[in-house]
């Protein structure tokens, strides 16, 4: 009897629950099963797209127009379609040379005595040293040379520095030296393909052309300096069978810090590194002197390199330190990840001079400001020698 009674009570309970469920479903049909279903599936979800309106600030707009996306970054459907439908002529573009740059004829007369000039040089070094001491979170290296008489002064000029694209300077010196011996051809060809080395995100070639495009060596030489194009520079390196073959030739010009050797140094953040791919301001200044002397003695060999530095598409930070019409022939290098910035220039002022300034700091604009400040000290030194 107890078992029968228990079964009867269970049946009555389930009947009651069923009845209440039917009433709930009738009164609240939109909530039935809500705990089991998803209102939006992952496949249906789309991240909201925020478009830029006319109220965008100037700073944001500037960043959007100046920062280049990596060459492998995703593109929209319309961009992809445009890329695939656009025809590309893979043949090398013609070699077009700029008008030759010629250095000014000496018309200035130096008024400073040899002794006064020596004092002014020492003062120049002390001014650079003072800037380095004042800027706690920077590492500043500097070298100055007179291409007229060989006077030079430096500060931390033997320390390892990261040249980045500025190392096109000694690499191309070796290339043109080989060209003078008939070992290189301006009309030689390199092909841009998926195995091409270089930083695509910072390359004119990487952003402008698709795989299969060919380039004459002369145009690669031009791009490496005038556009700081790393892919073009690697075309030049490959035409000479790689850096292991090039470095010994560069060291014959100057190799206090050899590019192939791992060197130990401390950066502006007090981090210690042991790495290759480094040079020094002393070496870079020697390369400038080698180029200038080579041009004076063999302009037919080095004129193209002089032109590429003069027609460089980037503006040197030294530009604001000298008279507006002062020609500045330069090559730049920068590595934002390492906070490394360098400018190597031939400045055709009262006397032709070579100037190399390297700044390690967190922000490129700070580096450019310091370079311009040091350039101003150099300009003042030259004026005091001739004023």
**Does 223 map to a domain?**
no
**Does 3 map to a domain?**
no
- Total count of domains within the chain: 1
Among 99, 7, 2, 159, CA closest to 306:
99
**Distance of alpha carbon 249 from alpha carbon 242, whole angstroms:** 12
**Distance of alpha carbon 358 from alpha carbon 156, whole angstroms:** 10
**Does 189 map to a domain?**
no
The confidence band for 150, taking pLDDT boundaries of 50, 70 and 90, is: very high
**Does 300 map to a domain?**
yes
Question: What are 322-381's pLDDT values in tens digits?
Answer: 999 999 999 999 999 999 999 999 999 999 999 999 999 999 999 999 999 999 999 999
Compare 43 and 123 and report the one with higher pLDDT. 123
Residue pair 222/146 in contact by the 8 Å Cβ criterion: no
Question: What are 60-105's pLDDT values in tens digits?
Answer: 333 222 222 222 222 223 333 334 447 999 999 999 999 999 998 8
What Å distances lie between residue 120 and 190, 261, 349, 373, CA to CA? 48, 36, 17, 17
Among 223, 176, 219, 217, CA closest to 198:
223
The confidence band for 222, taking pLDDT boundaries of 50, 70 and 90, is: very high
Structure tokens at 241: 């069978």
pTM (two decimals): 0.78
Looking at residue 201, its pLDDT comes to 76
Among 259, 233, 65, CA closest to 161:
259
**Does 301 map to a domain?**
yes
**CATH code at position 348:** 3.40.710.10
**Does 155 map to a domain?**
yes
**Does 344 map to a domain?**
yes
Structure tokens at 182: 């008939």
Domain of 338 in residue numbering reads as 114-163+279-386
Paired with 330 in beta bridges are 345
Looking at residue 3, its pLDDT comes to 64
Strand residue runs (E) in 81-238: 139-146, 152-155, 189-191, 214-216
Among 345, 234, 223, CA closest to 281:
345
Structure tokens at 126: 């002390």
Category of 316 on φ-ψ map: left (φ > 0), alpha (ψ -120 to 50) or beta: beta
**Does 2 map to a domain?**
no
**If you average pLDDT over residues 164-192, what whole number do you get?**
98
Category of 85 on φ-ψ map: left (φ > 0), alpha (ψ -120 to 50) or beta: alpha
DSSP readout, 290-343?
HHHHHHHH-HHHHHHHHHHHHT-SSPPGGGGGS-TT--EEEEEEEETTTTEEEE
């Amino acid at each position: 009897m107890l078992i029968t009674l228990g079964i009867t009570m269970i049946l009555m309970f389930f009947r009651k629950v069923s009845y209440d469920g039917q009433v709930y479903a009738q009164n609240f049909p939109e909530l039935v099963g809500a705990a089991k279903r998803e209102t939006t599936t992952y496949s249906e979800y789309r991240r909201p797209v925020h478009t830029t309106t006319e109220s965008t600030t100037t700073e944001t707009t500037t960043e959007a127009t100046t920062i280049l996306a990596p060459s492998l970054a995703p593109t929209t459907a319309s961009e992809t379609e445009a890329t695939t439908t656009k025809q590309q002529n893979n043949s090398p573009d013609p070699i077009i040379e700029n008008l030759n740059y010629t250095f000014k004829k000496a018309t200035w007369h130096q008024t400073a005595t040899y002794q006064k000039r020596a004092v002014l040089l020492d003062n120049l070094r002390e001014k650079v040293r003072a800037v380095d001491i004042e800027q706690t979170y920077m590492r500043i290296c500097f070298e100055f040379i007179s291409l007229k008489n060989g006077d030079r002064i430096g500060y931390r000029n033997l320390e390892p520095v990261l040249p980045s694209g500025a190392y096109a300077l000694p690499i191309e010196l070796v290339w043109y030296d080989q060209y003078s011996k008939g070992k290189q051809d301006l009309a030689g060809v390199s092909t841009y393909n998926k195995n091409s080395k270089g930083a695509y995100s910072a390359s004119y070639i990487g952003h402008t052309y698709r795989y299969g495009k060919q380039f004459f060596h002369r145009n690669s030489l031009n791009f490496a300096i005038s556009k700081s194009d790393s892919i073009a520079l690697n075309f030049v390196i490959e035409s000479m069978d790689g850096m292991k073959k090039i470095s010994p030739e560069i060291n014959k010009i100057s190799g206090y810090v050899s590019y192939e050797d791992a060197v130990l140094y401390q950066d502006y953040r007090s981090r210690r590194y042991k790495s290759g791919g480094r040079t020094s301001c002393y070496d870079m200044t020697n390369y400038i002197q080698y180029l200038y002397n080579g041009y004076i003695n063999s302009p037919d060999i080095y004129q193209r390199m002089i032109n590429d530095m003069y027609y460089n598409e980037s503006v040197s930070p030294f530009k604001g330190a000298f008279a507006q019409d002062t020609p500045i022939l330069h090559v730049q290098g920068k590595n934002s990840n390492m906070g490394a910035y360098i400018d190597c220039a031939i400045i055709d002022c009262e006397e032709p001079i070579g100037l190399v300034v390297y700044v390690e700091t967190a922000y490129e604009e700070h580096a450019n400001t310091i370079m311009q400040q040091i350039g101003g000290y150099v300009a003042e030194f030259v004026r005091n020698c001739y004023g």
